[in-house]
Structure 1
């Protein structure tokens, strides 16, 4: 009898939420490396550390990853987002509301790459 009282709450929870919002991680790992190692890593202008480093980034926006090392020219890489196809399939099976929720929250997004690498070139003919 107790379980029957919870049934409406469970149905409402499933109906008004979506797969990616419930199950997708809030951050994604991005492995960042350079040749030579030890380059300072800037993400959207903020220093995050030196290579090699693993960054935890939210998958709902794009990032400019800049590598800086004294005596070398800086290198910039762009990491974009893309929609995870598996989430779309699950949302479509769940109906219109899960699609709207995941699209609005960006929960079904993921980074378009798992790692970024830069080969730094010495500057000034060194």
Structure 2
């Protein structure tokens, strides 16, 4: 019973986001076809399928690349969670200040980036063109 007032004191001082919102979030990344390169914020981090820990309070741009396929971008946005604000308002002014200053209200909403990589259409320059000459011979250029 003595722990209950202590819990309320901690919540009132620290803020709900600071106590319960994780700083790191593991995001699962898959692609069809598999073995696509995964570039996060401009850095190659591996190939699909994989799971990576990311900063939960920052937004990230994930680019999937595979030879013969078009690149696909997955945006992971870190947004302010209304639930954290409501809980802090119930706790008073100090939790609001703590979470607002530390950014602990923010978090990535998604748990995964699952993408399909479309094949690159063949470019006209790479296609061979068949032509028949006056004798019926077929040539390629």
Report the TM-score range of the alignment, normalised by the length of the smaller protein. 0.7 to 0.9
Q: 1:43 maps to what in 2?
A: 40
RMSD value, Cα: 2.3
2:80 is the counterpart of 1:70: no
TM-score, with length taken from structure 2: 0.73
CA deviation map 1:21-79 (0-9, x unaligned): 12222211211111001101010001111111112111211111000111111111211
**Deviation >4 Å, runs of 4+:** none
Structure with higher RCO (Cα < 8 A, 6+ apart): 1
Correspondences of 1:1-126 after superposition (within 5 Å): 11=9, 14-125=11-122
Q: Where does the alignment leave 5 or more consecutive residues of structure 1 unmatched?
A: none
Whether contact under 8 Å (2:78, 2:106) holds in the other structure is yes
Number of equivalences: 119
Larger fraction in helix: 1
- SS of 2:84's equivalent in the other structure is helix
- SS of 1:37's equivalent in the other structure is coil
Q: Where does the alignment leave 5 or more consecutive residues of structure 2 unmatched?
A: 124-141
Kindly name which structure, 1 or 2, has the bigger radius of gyration based on alpha carbons. Answer: 2
- SS of 1:55's equivalent in the other structure is strand
TM-score, with length taken from structure 1: 0.81
